[in-house]
A and B are shown apart, each in its own frame.
Chain A
Amino acid sequence: MRNIDPTTLAVIRGALEQIADEMDTVLSTSAFSPIISDAWDRASGIFHPRTGEVIVQGQTGLPIFIIVMQHTVQHVLQDHPPETMKPGDVFIVNDPYRGGTHTMDVKFVRPFFRDGELKALLANTGHWPDVGSMTPGGFTTTATDVYQEGFRIPPVKIYDGGEFNQILADVMFHNMRVADDRRGDMAAQLNSLEMGNKRLHEFFDRFDEDTIFACIDELKDRSEKLMRERIAEIPDGTYQFVDYMDSDGLDEGRLKIDVKMIVKDTDITFDLSGSSPECRGPFNSPYSNTVTGTMIAVKHVFWDVPINSGCFEPFNWIIPEGSMLNPREPRPVSGTTTESCNMIVSTTLGALAQAVPGRVPAGYFATGSNVCLGGTHPGYGEYATLLLVGGGMGGNPDGDGLNNGCPAVGGSRNGSIEITEQSVPFLYTKYGLREGSAGDGEFRGGLGVEAALQLREGEGYLTFLGDRGTIGPYGLEGGEPGATADHAFHTGGEYWQAPHRTKIDRVYLRPGDGMVVRTPGGGGYGDPAKRSSKARAADSRRGYLAAAADAAE
Chain B
Amino acid sequence: MAHLIGVDVGGTNTDLVFVDTEAGELRVAKVPSTPSNQADGLMHGIDILDVPLKEIDLLIHGTTVATNAVIERKGARCGLITTKGFRDVLELGRRDRRQVYGLFGDFQPLIDRQDRREVDERVSAQGEILTPLDPEEVRAVASALAEEGCEALVISFMHAYANTGNEAAAGRAAREVWPNDFVVTSSEVLPVVREFERTSTATVSGYVQPLISRYLTSLGDRLNEGGYVREFLVVQLNGGVMTASVAARLASNTILSGPAAGVTAGAAIAVDMDIGDVVCCDMGGTSFDACIIRGGQPVIANEKYLDFRIPLSLPMLDVDAIGAGGGSIARIDSSGIIEVGPESAGADPGPACVGHGGTEPTVTDASLVLGYLDPGEAIGRDEGVGMDVELARAAIQEKIAGPLNLAVEDAAEAILTVTGAKMAGHVRRNLLGKGLDPREFSVIAFGGAGPVHVNRITREVGFRSAIIPAYPGLTSALGCVLGRLRHDYLRTVNVALDTLDPAALGTIFDEEVRKGRTLLKAEGVPADRITATLGADMCYAGQAYVIQVIFPDDEALSTDSISEAFEAAYHERFANLLPHAGIKIISTRVTVASTEDVPSVADLVSAPTDTSPTARTTRAYFGGGWVDAAKYRRGELPAEFRVDGPALLTQPDSTTLIEPGFSATVHPTGNLLIEANT
B88, B104, B333: the one contacting A432 at CB < 8 Å is B88
Determine if A396 and B95 form an interchain contact, defined as CB atoms under 8 angstroms apart: no
A417 interfacial by beta-carbon distance below 8 Å: yes
Determine if B333 and A22 form an interchain contact, defined as CB atoms under 8 angstroms apart: no
The 14 sampled A-B contact pairs (Cβ below 8 Å) are: A6-B338, A7-B410, A10-B337, A10-B338, A10-B414, A18-B428, A37-B543, A180-B581, A361-B104, A418-B158, A432-B86, A432-B87, A541-B112, A541-B114
B504 interfacial by beta-carbon distance below 8 Å: no
Inter-chain contacts of A418 with B (CB < 8 A): 125, 158-159, 193-195
Inter-chain contacts of A195 with B (CB < 8 A): 432
A208 to B417, CA, bound (A): 18
Determine if B102 and A180 form an interchain contact, defined as CB atoms under 8 angstroms apart: no
A476 interfacial by beta-carbon distance below 8 Å: no
Q: Indicate whether A6 sits within 8 Å of B542 (C-beta atoms), given known contacts A398-B104, A405-B97, A418-B125.
A: no
A32 to B540, CA, bound (A): 10
A-B contact count (CB 8 A): 193
Determine if A543 and B114 form an interchain contact, defined as CB atoms under 8 angstroms apart: yes
Determine if B335 and A430 form an interchain contact, defined as CB atoms under 8 angstroms apart: no
A427 interfacial by beta-carbon distance below 8 Å: yes
Determine if B95 and A414 form an interchain contact, defined as CB atoms under 8 angstroms apart: yes
A155 interfacial by beta-carbon distance below 8 Å: no
Q: Which of A45-53, A165-173, A302-310 contacts B (4 or more CB under 8 A)?
A: A302-310
In the complex, chain B residues 400-434 whose Cβ is within 8 Å of any chain A Cβ: 404, 406, 410, 413-414, 417-418, 421-422, 425, 428-429, 432-434
A85 interfacial by beta-carbon distance below 8 Å: no
Q: Separation in Å of the A432 CB from the closest CB of chain B?
A: 4
B275 interfacial by beta-carbon distance below 8 Å: no
Q: Which of A285-293, A386-394, A526-534 contacts B (4 or more CB under 8 A)?
A: A386-394
Determine if A393 and B97 form an interchain contact, defined as CB atoms under 8 angstroms apart: yes
A130 interfacial by beta-carbon distance below 8 Å: no
Inter-chain contacts of B105 with A (CB < 8 A): 398-399, 402
Determine if A413 and B125 form an interchain contact, defined as CB atoms under 8 angstroms apart: no
- Further contacts, 19 of them, CB under 8 A, given A25-B433, A181-B542, A422-B193: A6-B338, A10-B338, A25-B432, A30-B435, A32-B543, A195-B432, A222-B336, A222-B337, A303-B101, A305-B335, A364-B103, A393-B97, A399-B105, A399-B106, A416-B197, A418-B194, A431-B85, A542-B114, A544-B113
In the complex, chain A residues 410-451 whose Cβ is within 8 Å of any chain B Cβ: 411-414, 416-419, 421-422, 427-433, 446, 449
Determine if A449 and B102 form an interchain contact, defined as CB atoms under 8 angstroms apart: no
B91 interfacial by beta-carbon distance below 8 Å: yes
Q: Indicate whether A419 sits within 8 Å of B193 (C-beta atoms), given known contacts A390-B95, A394-B103, A411-B100.
A: yes
Which residue of chain A has its CB nearest to the CB of B112?
Answer: A542
Inter-chain contacts of B335 with A (CB < 8 A): 219, 222-223, 226, 305-306
Inter-chain contacts of B158 with A (CB < 8 A): 417-418
Which residue of chain A has its CB nearest to the CB of B94?
Answer: A413
Determine if B580 and A180 form an interchain contact, defined as CB atoms under 8 angstroms apart: yes
A140 interfacial by beta-carbon distance below 8 Å: no
Q: Indicate whether A14 sits within 8 Å of B107 (C-beta atoms), given known contacts A417-B195, A432-B92.
A: no
Determine if A7 and B88 form an interchain contact, defined as CB atoms under 8 angstroms apart: no
Which residue of chain B has its CB nearest to the CB of A66?
Answer: B101
Q: Indicate whether A15 sits within 8 Å of B421 (C-beta atoms), given known contacts A10-B414, A22-B429, A418-B125.
A: yes
A184 to B97, CA, bound (A): 29
Which residue of chain A has its CB nearest to the CB of B581?
Answer: A180
Inter-chain contacts of B104 with A (CB < 8 A): 361, 396, 398-399
A21 to B413, CA, bound (A): 25
Q: Indicate whether A6 sits within 8 Å of B428 (C-beta atoms), given known contacts A364-B103, A389-B95, A541-B114.
A: no
B107, B125, B334: the one contacting A422 at CB < 8 Å is B125
A300 to B87, CA, bound (A): 32
A226 to B102, CA, bound (A): 17
Which residue of chain B has its CB nearest to the CB of A364?
Answer: B103
A59 interfacial by beta-carbon distance below 8 Å: yes
Q: Separation in Å of the B191 CB from the closest CB of chain A?
A: 12
Q: Indicate whether A37 sits within 8 Å of B544 (C-beta atoms), given known contacts A22-B428, A432-B92.
A: yes
In the complex, chain A residues 366-391 whose Cβ is within 8 Å of any chain B Cβ: 388-390
Inter-chain contacts of B336 with A (CB < 8 A): 222
Which residue of chain B has its CB nearest to the CB of A60?
Answer: B100
A552 interfacial by beta-carbon distance below 8 Å: no
Q: Separation in Å of the B529 CB from the closest CB of chain A?
A: 38
In the complex, chain B residues 100-131 whose Cβ is within 8 Å of any chain A Cβ: 100-107, 112-114, 124-125, 130
Inter-chain contacts of A299 with B (CB < 8 A): 101
A296 to B93, CA, bound (A): 24
A245 to B193, CA, bound (A): 38
Q: Indicate whether A406 sits within 8 Å of B96 (C-beta atoms), given known contacts A304-B333, A431-B86.
A: yes
Determine if A11 and B435 form an interchain contact, defined as CB atoms under 8 angstroms apart: no
Determine if A361 and B103 form an interchain contact, defined as CB atoms under 8 angstroms apart: yes
A398 to B97, CA, bound (A): 15
Inter-chain contacts of A226 with B (CB < 8 A): 334-335
Which residue of chain B has its CB nearest to the CB of A35?
Answer: B544
Inter-chain contacts of A17 with B (CB < 8 A): 425
